[in-house]
């Protein structure tokens, strides 16, 4: 079962179907994106930057700040890439985003982007109000788990992550654990009512194996919900062309994911749905929608959604793209900063009617 919505305000999107419309297109009917061409070299962005040398509209090259955690254990022996920290080497764990304060703030802003896109909800799966135990895999800063624990005060909530970046002031029914979700889960079989997984694209080699872990730990009738965004940035009217900085953003992630064997094409390849069904889940449903970037949409709700997405990217584009651009593509810090300046300029101009897919999928373990 599918549910698809689009942003309002672009020339093609203005009359497009919205959530709940019988004319909404099934995601399966969408034509798959073309295979990304080789991304443009960093010299391209340096040359293009010269055209804006006297333009004061963008200050992206000088507003970076970051903080790092103190080294107190092996878990806190963070890797450092060009002055930014990333999670420690821990088994097969792999996450491509920075884990310092600046990126954590961006993650919290992005949480608001996701809840706005879900009409203020934390989840779409049909949960019973009397569930006893829920787990948030890849909890990040823990903001989703905190909100969920507040909404379900009688439910035991556990958030797991490979980085200890969560706060200590939390609801009494919530705890955080440092764990690698790609290894055998430590939760007892048939012990969980709900498993929530979000933002693991680019970190997982085998989605079916991941979902089988959830299947084993869920009670019969328990629910798994997976929320993932696409890294590919598109437009309906051609304003995000192949040579735009925003289009190149997706290419960096897609090609980087191929190099490390952890795909970012989770949405495009329908991996959530297929992996859930292969893991044994039934009654698999999805909600897929276009999420704008920037304040270009005419529709007030879509405009707000796009503005918060813009704030997220401007808060810390570097922390998102540093691993892909430096470690995998070989760009220098200066080259990355020049490229990010172009990304910000395109978003701020409102001439690029950019959007990306967001997809929420949930399924049930067979049983009462």
SS3 readout for 263-313: CCCCCCCCHHHHHHHHHCCEEEEEEEEEEECCCCCCCHHHHHHHHHHHHHH
Q: In this predicted structure, what is the pLDDT of residue 44?
A: 59
Q: How far is CA 23 from the centre of its chain?
A: 27
Q: In this predicted structure, what is the pLDDT of residue 322?
A: 78
- What does the pLDDT look like over 217-232, one tens digit per residue? 999 999 999 999 999 9
The answer to whether residue 10 scores a pLDDT higher than 60 is no
Which residues are within 8 A (CB) of 17 and not within 5 positions of it... i.e. 6 or more apart?
A: 4, 5, 6, 23, 24, 25
The answer to whether residue 300 scores a pLDDT higher than 50 is yes
Q: In this predicted structure, what is the pLDDT of residue 334?
A: 87
CA distance 204 to 310: 26
The answer to whether residue 337 scores a pLDDT higher than 70 is yes
Q: Three-state DSSP class for 224? A: strand
Mean pLDDT computed over 47-57: 52
- What does the pLDDT look like over 170-182, one tens digit per residue? 999 999 998 888 8
Q: In this predicted structure, what is the pLDDT of residue 32?
A: 39
Least confident segment among 96-100, 289-293, 348-352: 96-100
Query: Domains of the chain: which residue ranges?
Result: 4-14+33-364
CA distance 352 to 10: 10
Helices (H), the chain: 42-49, 101-117, 143-151, 207-217, 245-260, 271-279, 300-322, 333-349
State in Å, rounded, how far the first CA of the chain is from the last one: 21
Q: In this predicted structure, what is the pLDDT of residue 69?
A: 31
Show the tokens assigned to 214: 């959830």
The domain 4-14+33-364 is placed in CATH, from the list 3.40.640.10, 3.20.20.80, 3.40.50.150, 3.20.20.370, at 3.40.50.150
Q: In this predicted structure, what is the pLDDT of residue 3?
A: 65
CA distance 122 to 155: 15
- What does the pLDDT look like over 139-178, one tens digit per residue? 988 999 999 999 999 999 999 987 777 888 999 999 999 8
Q: In this predicted structure, what is the pLDDT of residue 368?
A: 77
Name the pLDDT band for 15 (thresholds 50, 70, 90): very low
Name the pLDDT band for 192 (thresholds 50, 70, 90): very high
Name the pLDDT band for 320 (thresholds 50, 70, 90): confident
79-81 and 84-86 strand pairing = antiparallel
Output the average pLDDT for the chain. 80
Q: Which residue has the higher pLDDT, 25 or 274?
A: 274
- What does the pLDDT look like over 241-294, one tens digit per residue? 998 999 999 898 898 888 888 898 999 999 999 999 999 999 999 999 999 999
Mean pLDDT computed over 39-51: 56
Which residues are within 8 A (CB) of 76 and not within 5 positions of it... i.e. 6 or more apart?
A: 69, 70, 88, 164
């Amino acid at each position: 079962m599918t549910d698809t919505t689009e942003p309002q305000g672009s020339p093609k999107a203005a009359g497009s179907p919205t959530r709940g419309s019988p004319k909404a297109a099934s995601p399966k009917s969408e034509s798959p994106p073309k295979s990304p061409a080789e991304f443009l070299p960093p010299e391209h962005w340096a040359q293009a930057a010269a055209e804006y040398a006297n333009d004061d509209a963008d200050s992206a090259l000088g507003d970076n700040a970051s903080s790092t955690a103190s080294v107190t254990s092996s878990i806190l022996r963070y890797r450092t890439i060009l002055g930014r920290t990333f999670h420690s080497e821990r088994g097969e764990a792999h996450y491509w985003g920075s884990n310092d304060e600046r990126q954590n703030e961006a993650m919290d802003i992005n949480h608001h982007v996701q809840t706005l896109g879900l009409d203020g909800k934390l989840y779409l799966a049909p949960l019973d109000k009397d569930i006893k135990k829920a787990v948030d895999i890849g909890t990040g800063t823990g903001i989703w788990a905190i909100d969920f624990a507040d909404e379900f005060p009688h439910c035991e909530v556990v958030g797991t992550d490979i980085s200890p970046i969560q706060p200590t002031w939390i609801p009494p029914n919530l705890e955080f654990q440092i764990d690698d979700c790609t290894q055998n889960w430590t939760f007892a079989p048939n012990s969980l009512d709900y498993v929530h997984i979000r933002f693991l694209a680019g970190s997982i080699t085998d989605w079916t194996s991941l979902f089988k872990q959830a299947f084993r730990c869920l009670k019969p009738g328990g629910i798994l919900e997976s929320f993932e965004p696409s890294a590919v940035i598109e437009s309906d009217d051609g304003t995000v062309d192949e040579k735009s900085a925003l289009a190149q953003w997706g290419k960096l992630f897609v090609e980087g994911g191929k190099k490390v064997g952890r795909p970012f094409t989770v949405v495009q390849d329908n991996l959530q749905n297929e992996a859930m069904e292969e893991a044994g889940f039934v009654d698999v449903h999805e909600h897929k929608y276009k999420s704008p970037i920037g304040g270009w949409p005419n529709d007030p709700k879509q405009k707000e959604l796009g503005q918060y997405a813009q704030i997220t990217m401007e808060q810390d584009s570097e922390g998102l793209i540093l691993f892909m651009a430096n470690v995998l593509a070989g760009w220098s810090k200066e080259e990355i900063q020049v490229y990010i300046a172009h990304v910000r300029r395109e978003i701020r101009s409102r001439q690029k009617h950019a959007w990306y897919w967001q997809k929420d999928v949930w399924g049930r373990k067979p049983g009462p």
